[in-house]
Amino acid sequence: MTWKIEDNSLDNQQLLVNESLFSLGNGYLGVRGNFEEGYREDYLSIRGIYINGFYDETDIQYGEKLYGFPEKQEKMVNIIDSQEVLIYLDDEAFSLFEGEVIDFSRTLYLEKGYVQRNIHWRSPQGKEVKIQFKRLVSFSTQELFAIEIMIEPIDGIQEVKVISEVEGDVRNFVDDNDPRVASGHAKRLTVREIEEREGFSIIKSKTEVTNLEVSCVSSVFINHQTSHQRTVKETSVSESFTCETGKPIRFTKYNVYTDTRKHGKQLVDKAVEIQKELSIQPFQAIVKQQESYLNAFWELTDIKINGDEEMQRGIRFNLYQLLQSAGKDGLSNIAAKGLSGEGYEGHYFWDTEIYMFPLFLMTQPKIAKSLLLQRYSLLDAARARAKEMGHQQGALYPWRTITGKESSAYFPAGTAQYHISADIAYSFIQYYLVTKDEAFLKEYIAEVLFETARLWIDAGHMRNGKFRIDNVTGPDEYTCIVNNNYYTNSMAKYNLLWAVKVFNQLQDTDVMEEIMVKLHLDKAEVKNWLQAGENMYLPFNEALQINEQDDTFLQKAVWDLESTPKDQFPLLLHYHPLTLYRYQVCKQADTVLAHFLLEDEEDLDIIKNTFDYYENITTHDSSLSYCVHSIMSSKLGYTSKAYDYFSKTALLDLNNTHGNTKDGLHLANMGGTWLAIIFGFCGLRVKENGIHFQPKLPQQWEALSFKLRYQKRILELDLNQEYVIYKLISGENLTIYHNEKEILLEQHETVKYLM
């Protein structure tokens, strides 16, 4: 049961949630979990198919526009709809909302990579049929979305008609009442070409502003028929098949999507070529390819939990959806909602680097590398944004973007979050520590670290012997435009000192000479980085013995969370931002997050005091918050609390606890589930001298096991309530640390230590 997600609800609100939960994707293409035949006319559906990084631009409307405000916003586009398949039993249309549903189930198979609906239905006129729908988005052929339908007439049916449609007249979803969802610009795609060629239905469309093109080439096969008719309309192509009912009917539909960003100008020809390659592959062969890909993924990425079936299902679901969402081509990243919905309009945030990247780094490093390459490809845009923001040098990565342009219209909680540049730098550093990829260090990491270090020098200043960074926003979006946000300053310090470290490591090499010429870099700048990093101001309150979130946070009144009505959460939907900014109230982990990422900055007592203080004023209105509090609860020995926070993380979408899963899944929270297990319960930390573990297994679990990749090695951990077993499965001997004790592992050796 822990390898599948099931639901048989026909309630509209749950169907909307299920459209996200049962979405399918492969990092390039994503399809929401809509019914092929549709819903009732009075039901809302967010019907969508998306390509990662395929976007249009819309004008941002300001009442008062000032210098440097973005004029355009990038927006993921809902593309050509190939999902529709209608079934008629004689003259009656099949619908789960008419007649009698004798049996109905929908299942997402996490091991196999497809969704299946099994239906036993009796029509209003008494016609009885069994129908099985299968659909998948292929990991092997990333352009492919495939559907197979088995129709088994049971009673009273003389003829079955199947109508397959590809529709180019599509729109994006809008919601005027939720700032997390777009409120306009629904029509972004126009059909430019429509045709039938070599038995394929072809639609090519173009975006309104960016002039990007997308094509869908669809092929249909049905095992026996008495007639076939194709109709080409202005925006759609439909095929109608009439079938005899003497034996079960097998209907297969292959939809191949291509776009100009990935496939160039000849995108239709490329799609036709892929279709021809697929024509010799039956649906079952594609299913086998899917299973093979996932077997390899789960072999290294699965986390096995004994004694807690609900959490086991939750973590596997989250890992699977992360795989479906991650860009793997160096052109795309991971959107906040992945490819499961239109919340946050397909934008990439710091969510990738801090919450999702670590999973791929330590289990699927090729994917991790492609994510870094995508960020590197935006470095010139980050340099341009820094200059637009008044800086003479450096790289300021945009808060929310697809291709590198800032798409945040609300700068206090967007552009002002300068920490994203340090977050990206942090992920490049982590990649180096885990892989020791020296070539990548020279070709990519050094340049990113140097340019982000330059930003901090230009954004900050020395005063009274301390380097300070004013007028920024940290991760807590309920506190904006502050001086010396602890998280920002500590991450900037790490960024600066690592830039110095890499410079010194590569000094006097031909590579460094090339970089210095390219960047017009001199050693005096590097000295400034060192001075700023070593003298970074990190706010601290002597009386409370905690790190202050910023210079003035503790001067404010404390928000009375206990007296706030439950229907007033999340606060951002019920209170003006200025009201929130005037109180001590946190949307999510901020200083606590810094203590997780950079725990060596402070003593454990200060970390504990800080956690205790901020926990009481944190709403967790952000889905990014629970996992960090779970990790730090584990660190501090709050084992019951750690599990409680983890459970909220693991089941956030499956239980729709934030009430907006219909707009797409919370991918960063899903990454946080992995973090809460590996960095929380198992106490993993990646440091310069190696990897450290301080495991504390929850009382609810009998055992836990998983694998990690580290410096060309594969390490396996098995934990129970008494001890942990470390095993080096492959690679050269490795030194690790268990509760600060140094351990040398030899290949295939197993060592056991008490928890």
Q: Which sequence positions are flagged as catalytic?
A: 477
Computed from CA positions of residues 698, 687, 328, 77, in that sequence, does the dihedral angle turn out positive or negative?
positive
Cα separation, 467 vs 460, whole angstroms:
7
The residue among 218, 175, 208, 275 whose CA lies nearest residue 80 is: 218
Instruction: Tell me how crowded residue 224 is: count the other CB atoms within 10 A of its CB.
Output: 12
For the chain, state the CA radius of gyration.
Answer: 27
Structure tokens of 431? 């990649």
Cβ pair 719, 695 in contact under 8 A: yes
Residue 563 CA: distances (Å) to CA of 542, 559, 560, 569, 582: 30, 9, 6, 12, 17
Provide the β-strand partners of residue 137: 145
**Backbone angles phi and psi of 3, in degrees to 5:** -105, 15
Spatial strand order of the sheet with 189-197 comes to 4-7, 100-109, 114-122, 128-137, 144-155, 249-259, 213-222, 200-207, 189-197
- What is the SS3 assignment for 444? helix
Structure tokens of 552? 């003035």
The residue among 537, 458, 518, 526 whose CA lies nearest residue 496 is: 526
Cα separation, 319 vs 314, whole angstroms:
9
**Backbone angles phi and psi of 557, in degrees to 5:** -70, 150
Residues in the chain: 755
Cβ pair 590, 491 in contact under 8 A: no
In this structure, the strands spanning 144-155 and 741-745 are: unpaired
Cα separation, 640 vs 299, whole angstroms:
30
Cα separation, 284 vs 145, whole angstroms:
14
Cβ pair 55, 339 in contact under 8 A: no
- What is the SS3 assignment for 751? strand
Report the amino acid identity of residue 553: F
The residue among 143, 95, 404 whose CA lies nearest residue 256 is: 143
DSSP 176: T
DSSP 61: P
Helix (H) or strand (E) holding 9: none
Question: What region does 327 belong to: left with phi over 0, alpha with psi -120 to 50, or beta?
Answer: beta
User: In the chain, what is the greatest distance between 2 CA atoms, to the nearest angstrom?
Assistant: 89
Cα separation, 453 vs 391, whole angstroms:
13
